[in-house]
Amino acid sequence: MVGRDLLNPAAGSRPAERADAGRNRQRVLAAAARLFAERDPRTVTMDDVAKQAGVGRATLYRRYPSIGAIAEALLDQHERELQELIISGPPPLGPGAAPPDRLVAFYAAMVQLLHSHAALVLASEVGQARFETGAYRFWRLHLRHLTRAAGVADPEVVAELLLAPLAPEVFLETRRFGASLRAIERSLTQFARALTAAGPEA
């Protein structure tokens, strides 16, 4: 199972933040959150955020190299809370339940995360960047662990297939044509159980 510092391996080693830097960080994050909520996050630029936050471009880029990095910072606390539940929370999301049941619980938790924060996930996972975020690497390792424990053939392949329906574009498009959260969760449950039921190939 993945260690709890995967999403932020440098945690605990950062120098103390100056008061003015902290204020600028909060202004940037608040401005970005407003912009992401108002329009398609993929259209938000670094200049937009700097202008909305009232900070210079150099100040913005010193801390955040891209829009995706800002979105990741906004998502960090929510993803860490879910990470902690997966690592040490009660079953079935946490340890102690059968792998298929843990996978179903993971899907349910991710549906809620996307429902609340799809715009932020979309901003942080555009194109190839989706596979490079710390959160995605955590989800991938978790699902590889579960599928391997379930005796599924090719757990690396199956883990990627299980994560594909959680792409924010897919979730938002599914919601756009009227699917309820319950319907999405039910379909993902069926998908998860089908992929983990057969076990290894003969």
Cβ 32 vs Cβ 49: under 8 Å:
yes
Q: 44: closest CA among 59, 60, 63, 26? A: 60
**Encoded tokens for 3:** 């260690």
DSSP 154: S
Structurally, at CATH architecture level, domain 68-197 sits in: Orthogonal Bundle (1.10)
The mean pLDDT value for 96-121 works out to: 94
- pTM of the predicted protein model: 0.76
Q: What is the pLDDT of residues 148-197, one digit of tens each?
A: 999 999 999 999 999 999 998 899 999 999 999 999 999 999 999 998 88
How far does CA 18 lie from the centroid of its chain?
A: 29
* 15-65 is a CATH 3.40.50.10800 domain: no
Can you give the pLDDT at residue 49?
95
Comparison of pLDDT for 11 and 163, the residue scoring more = 163
Give the Cα-Cα-Cα angle 8, 3, 9 (nearest 5 degrees).
20
DSSP string for 100-117: HHHHHHHHHHHHHHHHHH
| Domain range list for the chain | 15-65, 68-197
